[in-house]
Amino acid sequence: MTTTQYVIGVDLGGTNVRAAVLDEATGKIVSRSANVPSRALDGAEFTAQQCAEAVKQALANIEIGTEHIRGIGMAVPGHIHPKEGEVLWAPNFKDQWLGIPLGKMVSDLLGGARIFLGNDANLAALGEFKYGAGRGSKHLVMFTLGTGIGGGVIVDGRLLTGSDGGAGELGHIFIAGGCPEARGGLAMFGTLEGMAQRDAITERAARKVAMGRRTLLTQGGFNRHNVTPKEICDAAAQGDSLAIEVLEETGHYIGLGVASCVNIFNPEVFVIGGGIAQAGSLLLDPIIRTAEANAVATLYAKCRIVIAELGDNAGIIGGAALVGHELAG
């Protein structure tokens, strides 16, 4: 009889940090913390304390000897050095974190625990690869769609991190350079993020509404500053033509990004994740149409395009997956 081995995943966000203990073989969560405020604007030492607190909470409810816990993996929104657990750049934290040794700080608060860090979208891909929609594959690409757009790539079973951990910034690839429609937040004109991030989607809806068209979105007092991607998805699911158009157009741009990445990576699986992916086939169908029309045919034929499986647990499960990945690599 083999003893069950456990890993701990930590999902550090700008608002909360969450941790969970997972059975490493299955990826099942056996215990989890509450949402602990991440104190993102108070300074790195406070955030490190909150991370340690979340880990302690996740461990408090269960009885597992520390010898059965292989390590802790943390998903962090930023540019992370892969080997040293250092945050090279994380704009969502106090004064922009630059060169914060977060792995060591949290480890020191947890008695020298073994800690690995990775970019949150990179680790979402690693989680889907090991425990989710990409199980059994060796080559995978993932987009995580949200306020921004993140990416992650698995090449021959290994996470692509690049020369100093910054690889996989797939939201920052240019798909429509020079096209005036691009907008949204800080994203560059014509990048995938600029064309398909949350603000680009809601803006696309707002412009159609401003043309005076009938739509379910206005019946509840639609306001372009308040409409959410979820409302657009709900309206589309009820057959609203304006909302369906928004998802079709957004899916087209995402599909150009998928085609580019199929041509670059020749993957077996392409995973679409993030909140808007919950629209399911209303978004996935136009993505697939555009990708099929624009990718190299022999490469497209090898690739299946699927919705992510891990949902809100992507960060926790991806972090947990990093432990075994780093210990093996």
Q: Which residues bind a copy of itself (CB under 8 A)?
A: 79, 88-89, 137-139, 151, 153, 155-156, 158, 160-170, 172-179, 188, 190, 253, 256-257, 259-260, 263-268, 294-296, 298-299, 302
Q: Which is nearer to a copy of itself, 176 or 244 (CB)?
A: 176
What one-character DSSP code corresponds to residue 142?
E
User: Would you say 87 and 95 are in contact if contact means Cβ atoms under 8 Å apart?
Assistant: no
Q: Could you give the CA distance from residue 276 to residue 118 in angstroms, rounded to a whole number?
A: 23
Output the smallest distance, CB 177 to a copy of itself, in A: 5
Output the smallest distance, CB 153 to a copy of itself, in A: 8
Residue 29 identity: I
DSSP labels for 274-329? EGGGGGTHHHHHHHHHHHHHHS-HHHHTT-EEEE-S-GGGHHHHHHHHHHHHHHH-
Output the smallest distance, CB 294 to a copy of itself, in A: 6
CB contact set of 264 (below 8 Å; sequence gap of 6+): none
3-class state of residue 16 by DSSP: strand
Q: Could you give the CA distance from residue 46 to residue 284 in angstroms, rounded to a whole number?
A: 40
Q: Which is nearer to a copy of itself, 102 or 233 (CB)?
A: 102
Q: Could you give the CA distance from residue 148 to residue 241 in angstroms, rounded to a whole number?
A: 26
Q: Which is nearer to a copy of itself, 140 or 321 (CB)?
A: 140
Angle made by CA atoms 209, 212, 214, in degrees to the nearest 5:
80
Q: Which is nearer to a copy of itself, 25 or 296 (CB)?
A: 296
Q: Which is nearer to a copy of itself, 50 or 260 (CB)?
A: 260
Q: Which is nearer to a copy of itself, 55 or 170 (CB)?
A: 170
Q: Which is nearer to a copy of itself, 224 or 302 (CB)?
A: 302
Output the smallest distance, CB 183 to a copy of itself, in A: 15
Q: Could you give the CA distance from residue 47 to residue 138 in angstroms, rounded to a whole number?
A: 35
